[in-house]
Amino acid sequence: MINKLIAKIMKRNAPIVVGLDPMMKFVPEHIRKAAFAEYGETLEGAAEAIWQYNKGIVDAIYDLVPAVKPQIAMYEQFGIPGLAAFKKTVDYCKEKDLVVIGDVKRGDIGSTSEAYAVGHLGKVHIGSNEVYSLNEDFATVNPYLGSDGVKPFLKVCAREHKGIFVLVKTSNPSSGELQDRLVKDGTGEKPLYEILGNMVAAWAEEYMPEQGDYSYVGAVVGATYPEQGKILRDIMPKSFILVPGYGAQGGKGADLVHFFDKDGLGAIVNSSRGIIAAYQQEQYAHFGSQCYADASRAAVLAMRQDIATALGTL
Amino acid sequence: MINKLIAKIMKRNAPIVVGLDPMMKFVPEHIRKAAFAEYGETLEGAAEAIWQYNKGIVDAIYDLVPAVKPQIAMYEQFGIPGLAAFKKTVDYCKEKDLVVIGDVKRGDIGSTSEAYAVGHLGKVHIGSNEVYSLNEDFATVNPYLGSDGVKPFLKVCAREHKGIFVLVKTSNPSSGELQDRLVKDGTGEKPLYEILGNMVAAWAEEYMPEQGDYSYVGAVVGATYPEQGKILRDIMPKSFILVPGYGAQGGKGADLVHFFDKDGLGAIVNSSRGIIAAYQQEQYAHFGSQCYADASRAAVLAMRQDIATALGTL
């Protein structure tokens, strides 16, 4: 799946993933109204609204980008109907041949992580049957519990040729509270994210596809921390980096160069509200809320241009 | 809700939470057969099996314990039907007046954690409506992203009088890989779990119910690490400690004393497979798989005795 992702990035000249994080305040009024008319202002109504909203965006951008990244929290908040909209979105995006990165940030003790791993990426055993469940292509993984919590994902990745992105240095303002702490390492000291970077590098080395330069094991490093991105790019040469924080969170195209390798590969940059709620920005307001998906398409094109300019791959 | 939990612990003389982590290999054959006969060996069949299994256990133990802790991964692996079984379990346990701790280990950047917080503990806005969604009483929270990712949960807890348990020192063998790292702190150095302990203590101090000694903000500290439990009990005087790792993971009654305060409160000990799969252990095998729930009841009684002996609260 990492090789499919890379091939699609090259074909589209777009190391871009669109974050499908449908907050209700982003959903245009006409979609909300129609959904509430059918299901009421209920969890079902909210789920229908975000699904219709997503579908419009996916239809407008699937030929431009290699991948989407639905953030499961935005669906999970609406309970079982919301999670059903997540699954519908995953399946629809796969029909459109998009690579689907489930932004689930799961991680637990070994036996529990195994359940997450088979549920999100692999097959679950039911009686004598093996069944794909949520079936994303990639998942994000929280490593706070150590290797016990990551290894079940690695095994499923090897079996299914899928991938994970391990949280190493997240994009949010407080990420440094733990991740930047200087920790003892042999005779010297290092920030915790470098320790994590070394762990990811070792897993990446061990879990390589038969062909290709990049591993099943990638890392999340925020666009908002370009200096750390540069260090981590060097520490994890086999790991693709998923880069959140571009756009609304403050990351700019010029900040991104350090996340990429010399061939302009090795990273994929996420934008969520910058794309999916583009119509609410001044720059794209002329599209209007009815044509929100066209605004999203224009925002993808602008992002592609911004990154290509920064990387010199125009 | 923390006060309700404490009152129920005292009433039952049982600082015990039963982990409802229904792995398929625990579900007795007669339940699996009936579920598969109705729904096939499908996600729906698996979900029905774990729901019926849970219901049997809850009916057998609800008068003995104050709380249950469903581990969402065990449901999520079976996709939307599995998550519907999670919700059904949460609702059923609340009907039985059990306190429900959702073991979800969620945590993300601020806006995303907010969605998890309202979805699991609070109310979501849908149009002009406010709706409870998954509606657990407590949730476990992963703090790896720093305070940004925890604060939305704190706000919801204050509003709803619910609670969280922040992962501080987890029970699994590899928890030390990050959590035990010695980090610089002022002029000295401390293990990372102590840094976390201090953060939890500060949040706990800030988020207290109007009455009572314990905060809305608790911590997870594994029974498998009694020495660290002792240190963390001192660092976090206002925080209830959720203690996993008793029983199957190796923690014993005698290890638990340090997690409690001088009144025998301040901690609640989880056992999952030790209770729910008791019938598969030699000691309770005579119950047979048909009477698996009676075996669970016997295991709860034995656990209550073990802890009371250790605490001297017989």
Average pLDDT, chain B: 96
Q: How confident is the model at residue A184, as a pLDDT?
A: 87
**B123 CB neighbour count, 10 Å cutoff:** 16
Are residues B77 and A146, on separate chains, in Cβ contact within 8 Å? no
ipTM of the complex: 0.97
Give the mean pLDDT of A88-96: 98
- Chain B nearest C-alpha distance from A314 (Å): 32
- Side-chain-facing half-sphere of B204: CA atoms under 13 Å: 26
pLDDT digits (tens, 9 = 90+) for A202-230: 999 999 999 999 999 999 999 999 999 99
- Put simply, whether B26 touches A (Cβ < 8 Å) is no
Give the pLDDT band of residue A314 (cuts 50, 70, 90). Answer: low
Count how many pairs of residues, chain A against chain B, have C-beta atoms within 8 Å. 225
One-letter amino acid for residue A265 of the chain: L
Are residues B41 and A127, on separate chains, in Cβ contact within 8 Å? yes
More reliable by pLDDT, A249 or B16:
B16
- Put simply, whether B34 touches A (Cβ < 8 Å) is no
Query: pLDDT over 70 for what percent of chain A?
Result: 98
Are residues B145 and A87, on separate chains, in Cβ contact within 8 Å? no
Are residues A106 and B110, on separate chains, in Cβ contact within 8 Å? no
User: Contacts of residue A116 in chain B, CB cutoff 8 Å?
Assistant: 73, 76-77
pLDDT digits (tens, 9 = 90+) for B79-138: 999 999 999 999 999 999 999 999 999 999 999 999 999 999 999 999 999 999 999 999
If contacts are CB pairs under 8 Å, which of residues 66-105 in chain B contact chain A?
Answer: 71, 73-74, 76-80, 82-84, 87, 105
Domain that holds residue A107: 2-311
| C-alpha distances out from residue A271 to A245, A314, B75, Å | 7, 20, 30
User: Contacts of residue A179 in chain B, CB cutoff 8 Å?
Assistant: 144, 146
Nearest CA in chain B to A192: B178
- Chain A nearest C-alpha distance from B272 (Å): 12
Please name the member of B43, B115, B128 whose beta carbon is closest to the beta carbon of A73: B115
Burial class (CB in 10 A: 0-12, 13-18, 19+), B312: exposed
User: Contacts of residue B73 in chain A, CB cutoff 8 Å?
Assistant: 106, 108, 112-113, 115-116, 119
Instruction: State CA B278 to chain mean position distance.
Output: 19
- Chain A nearest C-alpha distance from B121 (Å): 10
Give the pLDDT band of residue B23 (cuts 50, 70, 90). Answer: very high
- Chain A nearest C-alpha distance from B115 (Å): 5
- Side-chain-facing half-sphere of A234: CA atoms under 13 Å: 7
Are residues B112 and A173, on separate chains, in Cβ contact within 8 Å? no
Of A8, A40, A35, the residue nearest A22 (C-alpha) = A35
Are residues B195 and A181, on separate chains, in Cβ contact within 8 Å? yes
| Element holding A85 (H helix, E strand) | helix A79-95
β-strand A182-185 against A188-191: which pairing, if any? antiparallel
Q: How confident is the model at residue A229, as a pLDDT?
A: 96
Please name the member of A112, A124, A146 whose beta carbon is closest to the beta carbon of B71: A112
Q: Would you tell me the crossing angle of helices B43-61 and B29-39 to the nearest 10 degrees?
A: 140
What's the structural domain count of chain A?
Answer: 1
Give the pLDDT band of residue B249 (cuts 50, 70, 90). Answer: low
Quote the tokens at residue B56: 């049997």
pLDDT digits (tens, 9 = 90+) for B138-182: 999 999 999 999 999 999 999 999 999 999 999 999 999 999 999
pLDDT digits (tens, 9 = 90+) for A153-206: 999 999 999 999 999 999 999 999 999 999 988 888 999 999 999 999 999 999
Please state the pTM of the whole predicted model: 0.97
User: Contacts of residue A109 in chain B, CB cutoff 8 Å?
Assistant: 170-172, 249
- Alpha-carbon gap, residue A166 to A140, rounded angstroms: 6
Q: What secondary structure letter does DSSP report for A216?
A: S
Q: How confident is the model at residue B264, as a pLDDT?
A: 87
Are residues A76 and B115, on separate chains, in Cβ contact within 8 Å? yes
Plot region of A135 (φ>0 → left; ψ -120 to 50 → alpha; else → beta): left
User: Contacts of residue B74 in chain A, CB cutoff 8 Å?
Assistant: 112, 115
- Chain A nearest C-alpha distance from B211 (Å): 30
Query: pLDDT over 90 for what percent of chain A?
Result: 92
pLDDT for residue B314 is more than 60 = no
Of B84, B82, B86, the residue nearest B101 (C-alpha) = B86
Are residues A73 and B108, on separate chains, in Cβ contact within 8 Å? yes
Best mutation target, B23, B103, B111, to test chain A (most A CBs within 10 A): B111
- Chain B nearest C-alpha distance from A189 (Å): 9
Q: How confident is the model at residue A187, as a pLDDT?
A: 81
Give the pLDDT band of residue B206 (cuts 50, 70, 90). Answer: very high
- Chain B nearest C-alpha distance from A44 (Å): 10
Of A89, A106, A90, A50, the residue nearest A277 (C-alpha) = A50
Are residues B192 and A182, on separate chains, in Cβ contact within 8 Å? no
Q: How confident is the model at residue B67, as a pLDDT?
A: 98
Please name the member of B106, B129, B144 whose beta carbon is closest to the beta carbon of A41: B129
User: Contacts of residue B126 in chain A, CB cutoff 8 Å?
Assistant: 24, 36, 41-43, 45-46, 78
Instruction: State CA B276 to chain mean position distance.
Output: 14
Are residues B149 and A173, on separate chains, in Cβ contact within 8 Å? no
CATH of the domain at A226: 3.20.20.70
Please name the member of A42, A149, A183 whose beta carbon is closest to the beta carbon of B182: A183
If contacts are CB pairs under 8 Å, which of residues 265-304 in chain B contact chain A?
Answer: none
Q: What secondary structure letter does DSSP report for B184?
A: E
Are residues B189 and A184, on separate chains, in Cβ contact within 8 Å? yes
pLDDT for residue B313 is more than 70 = no
Query: pLDDT over 90 for what percent of chain B?
Result: 92
Burial class (CB in 10 A: 0-12, 13-18, 19+), B181: buried
Please name the member of B73, B176, B196 whose beta carbon is closest to the beta carbon of A108: B73
| Element holding B115 (H helix, E strand) | helix B110-120
- Put simply, whether A63 touches B (Cβ < 8 Å) is no
Are residues A105 and B147, on separate chains, in Cβ contact within 8 Å? no
Nearest CA in chain A to B42: A126
